[in-house]
Amino acid sequence: MQSLSTSIVIEAPPEEVFSKGSDLEHCEEWISGILKAEVLTEGPIGVGTRWKETRMMFGKEAEETMEIVEFETPHYYVASAYNCGTHYRTKISFEPAENGTEVTSTFTGTPDTFMGRILNWLFGWMAKGTVLKMMRQDLEDLKRAIEG
């Protein structure tokens, strides 16, 4: 799957937006697409933090275990997951903008097994629109949670 990306401007400083946007312990309270989030590691959120996230995908509950593999406050973090022969990577970046912070979500799925490539070929075109819509909704939920 190719990279998918979407952005939104939130009227608040990057530090505030990053703090809310990386609050994995409470994200299910303000991200409408997350049914459940459970942090699996102790300590502050950062590189090595792992969590389980449950969402509705294609009408069914889907659970992923993810890990933060890059974390630079208040600029960006990168989460990684692996499922069905495909490595998933999501980067959320927080850049100063004229009216606050531009938040960009970029998602990439890279199949690395034969089955992953087959599934990507069969379902990649269907998943693209769904994943982009979910990414956009997450950003709109973050904006609503911060701006009110």
DSSP class per residue in 16-62: HHHHHHT-TTTGGGT-TTEEEEEE-S-SSSSTT-EEEEEEEETTEEE
pLDDT (tens digit per residue) in 30-82: 999 999 999 999 999 999 999 999 998 777 898 999 999 999 999 999 999 99
Q: For residue 1, is pLDDT > 60?
A: no
Domain at 41, CATH number: 3.30.530.20
85-132 residue pLDDT tens: 888 999 999 999 999 999 999 998 888 877 767 766 666 666 677 888
Q: In sequence order, which residues have a C-beta less than 8 Å from that of residue 143 and are 6 or more positions away?
A: 8, 10, 103
Give the chain's domain count.
Answer: 1
Q: Do residues 99 and 124 lie in contact, with contact meaning Cβ atoms separated by under 8 Å?
A: no
Q: What is the pLDDT of residue 127?
A: 67
Cα–Cα distance, 111 to 131 (Å, whole number): 16
Confidence of residue 2 (pLDDT cuts 50, 70, 90): low
Could you give the percent of the chain with pLDDT greater than 90? 70
The mean per-residue pLDDT over the stretch 23-32 comes to 95
**pLDDT of 24 strictly over 70:** yes
Which token pair is 39? 């942090």
Q: How many CB atoms neighbour CB 4 within 10 A?
A: 19
- Host domain of residue 123: 4-147
State residue 113's pLDDT score. 77
